[in-house]
Amino acid sequence: MSDIALFDHNLISPEVQAALPPNHTIRALRSGDYERGFLQVLEVLTEVGNHTKEEWLERFDYIKRHNHECTYNFTIVITDDVKDRVVAAGTVFVERKFVHKNGLVGHIEDIAVDASQQGKKLGLRIIHALMHIGAKRGCYKVILDCSAKNIPFYEKCGFTQKEYEMAWYV
């Protein structure tokens, strides 16, 4: 597979692109981002696993092929184009509900900024770009779960605290 984008570029906010530092790009995840360190960026979040290129492509290709189905998975990255490296990443997936008259809800997941790049507003740009995608795709709300220490960050992005998260681990 050559360097294929997960979804169409017209969903990427031009305002967010304009606000990035020079030589940085915000765009859909691409199959070639394996070499640009996408999985290493996610390591600030949790254990990622040592994917072979084949294992990475298996998941990328699955998401790409199934994105027209029940949920739609938009993963985006910010790249440093001088170093040709991924420096930040995030996902919004769109859930199709019955309530709110077949309403759509955006769920933000796996927000990660490379440890050496934190504090430069890249996280904020990723969130604003994901909110833009959710709004453009017709979501009536966009929600996420986070730790208490990240609440001030999400408040700065425009979110307000609601409900509680529950989890069950298999």
Q: Is 66 helix (H, G, I), strand (E, B) or coil?
A: helix
From 10-18, 96-104, 134-142, 149-157, give the range in contact with ligand ACO by CB under 6 A.
149-157
Contact residues for 98 (Cβ-Cβ < 8 A; gap 6+): none
The answer to whether 72 and 95 have CB atoms below 8 angstroms apart is no
Give the x-and-dash track for 49-88 against ligand ACO (CB under 6 A).
----------------------------------------
Which residue's CB is nearer to ligand ACO, number 61 or number 71? 71
Cα–Cα distance list, 125 to 13, 49, 56, 95, 104 (Å) = 10, 27, 25, 23, 23
From 30-38, 63-71, 107-115, 135-143, give the range in contact with ligand ACO by CB under 6 A.
107-115
Residue 152 in the binding site for ligand ACO (CB under 6 A): yes
Q: Is 37 helix (H, G, I), strand (E, B) or coil?
A: coil
For the bound state, the minimum distance from the C-beta of residue 155 to ligand ACO, rounded and expressed in Å, comes to 8
From 21-29, 133-141, 144-152, 158-166, give the range in contact with ligand ACO by CB under 6 A.
144-152
Tokens found for residue 141: 């709300």
